[in-house]
Structure 1
Amino acid sequence: MDITIKITDRKGKKHEVKVPTDMALNLMHVVRAYELEPVGTIGICGGMAMCHTCQCYAINDINLPEKREAEEATLSRLMHLKPNSRLSCQIPITKELQGLEIELAPFL
């Protein structure tokens, strides 16, 4: 099953992407696969919740998985932190994400 996710890149351009739910992907993988940001600027730690490069803001009210301790720790160190900040590497792609809208946080 494919779902649709809307992603606003760091330049403000909106992208609507189709994503399969049966490939064990996370949101960071989706941003990389669609090449929405330059190589080396998304998921530098490889999805281990140890860097900030995949930080995003959840725009709409889709029920996301709870933040785990590693994600909370990394988010607590960030300059561009907002109440809706998440690490995209920590959000697995599931059918429940249908219609999710995110905005990628600045890369600094």
Structure 2
Amino acid sequence: MVIGMMAIEIIGAVYCPLSPRDPEHRLHLLVEQTRSQLVLVHHLTKNKFNDSIISLDIDLVLIDNELESDINFGRLSNANVTIENVAYTIFTSGSTGMPKA
């Protein structure tokens, strides 16, 4: 997990932790609110997302450095990172039950 967090920040992306204990509906809301283009998953979370969300299994990346995948990495944008950029986003349940950043 630490490797994934560091990799996310190194490439200029934003880290938003997703709990495998959360219902799928909440996870999809968080992905939608953050406008995530890629979700890094592991063995506990890989079955929580449907095909409409691009996900990459960190376990496969760590096992096979020459990962062959159907993921179109061209859909991901380059990020120019500055000190003003967000590094991570944390959500709470919120008093209304809707996730709040």
Q: TM-score, normalised by structure 2?
A: 0.31
Structure with bigger gyration radius: 2
- Normalised TM-score (structure 1): 0.30
Where is the helix percentage greater, Structure 1 or Structure 2? Answer: 2
